[in-house]
Amino acid sequence: MEILGFFLAALVGISLGIIGGGGSILTVPILVYVLGVNPLLATSYSLFIVGSTSMVGAANSYRKGLVNIKTALLFGISSIVTVYFTRKIIMPKIPSVIFSNEHILITQSMAIMLLFAVLMLLASVAMIKKSKMNLVTGTAVTGNDHHTTKLLFYGVMIGLVTGLLGAGGGFLIIPVLVILLKMPMKQAIGTSLLIIALNSMIGFAGDAGHFIIDWKLLLAITSMAVVGIFIGGYLGRKIDGNKLKKTFGWFVLLMGVYIIIKETILK
């Protein structure tokens, strides 16, 4: 199963390299269902894997002039603080059994996976839905107070998603950058990778002392994801990103439905 896990980790990196997001939504399910990692620990591992992989991708995009540092930092202020607070304060306080009675038992692990499944369904719709975002060719506008307020608000929302579930939130970040700031798609992807990297690594730092980390497994999976992001960067120049995004969206949709069935009906 480890070989399959490594292969799927590479696909996560490929997705991040091509469309700047989406792949991280699969990291936790891969860790839980393929590699047998506890769901709560998997969210922590996911932060490291996605953060490291995204940082490599962001550095590559920066060399090409496709990262808006000012926007990334502005967006990152609220999201980074939210992620750290969520991982350091909120996550350790979640009980192992959230709700139980004669007929229903909702555990911490089940709740995390079901929330993840809902997020996957939302992400899949965003990826499948026909979008004109790639047609935007304007430049980012970061000086407007109205935009700044919205960026801070979206930063908090994405910080919660990243903190609770270990997902990078690229499928949420890119529409904000493209639609709100009229940022070109390729620049939005590069900027999104930097925001994801900052959020994820700060979130992982917030887990310090809460988990015993299997560094051998974690670094092996991360290495495969990093290889994947280089492959994705290459393929991004050869493949229509929108078509791939739609196909990947259907795959994420099926995975989300599978998780809901497995955590409820098949329990």
d(CA 59, CA 34): 30
Report the 3 state secondary structure along 225-266: HHHHHHHHHHHCCCCCHHHHHHHHHHHHHHHHHHHHHHHCCC
Average pLDDT, the chain: 80
Residue 107, H or E segment: strand 105-107
Place of tokens 């936790």: 28
Most confident of 7-16, 55-64, 114-123: 55-64
Which pLDDT score is estimated for 147? Answer: 67
- The mean pLDDT value for 116-143 works out to 62
Which pLDDT score is estimated for 144? Answer: 52
pLDDT tens per residue, range 159-190: 887 787 767 667 677 777 877 777 887 788 88
Q: Note the pTM of the prediction, 2 decimals.
A: 0.76
Residue 170 · residue 144 · CB < 8 Å: no
In terms of phi and psi (left: phi > 0; alpha: psi -120 to 50; beta: otherwise), the region of 182 is: left
Burial of 209 (0-12, 13-18, 19+ CB in 10 A): exposed
Residue that wins the pLDDT comparison between 74 and 37: 37
pLDDT tens per residue, range 16-43: 777 666 566 788 888 988 999 988 888 8
Residue 115, H or E segment: helix 108-128
d(CA 205, CA 52): 13
Which pLDDT score is estimated for 265? Answer: 78
Which residues, listed in sequence order, are joined to residue 106 by a DSSP beta bridge? 99
Burial of 149 (0-12, 13-18, 19+ CB in 10 A): exposed
User: Any idea what DSSP says for residue 204?
Assistant: H
The Cα-based distances of 235 to 9, 112, 132, 170 in angstroms read 17, 33, 21, 19
The Cα-based distances of 206 to 4, 164, 211, 262 in angstroms read 29, 12, 11, 30
Which pLDDT score is estimated for 222? Answer: 93
pLDDT tens per residue, range 229-262: 888 878 777 776 667 667 777 877 888 898 889 8
C-alpha angle with apex 112: 159 to 206, nearest 5 degrees?
45
- The mean pLDDT value for 181-208 works out to 83
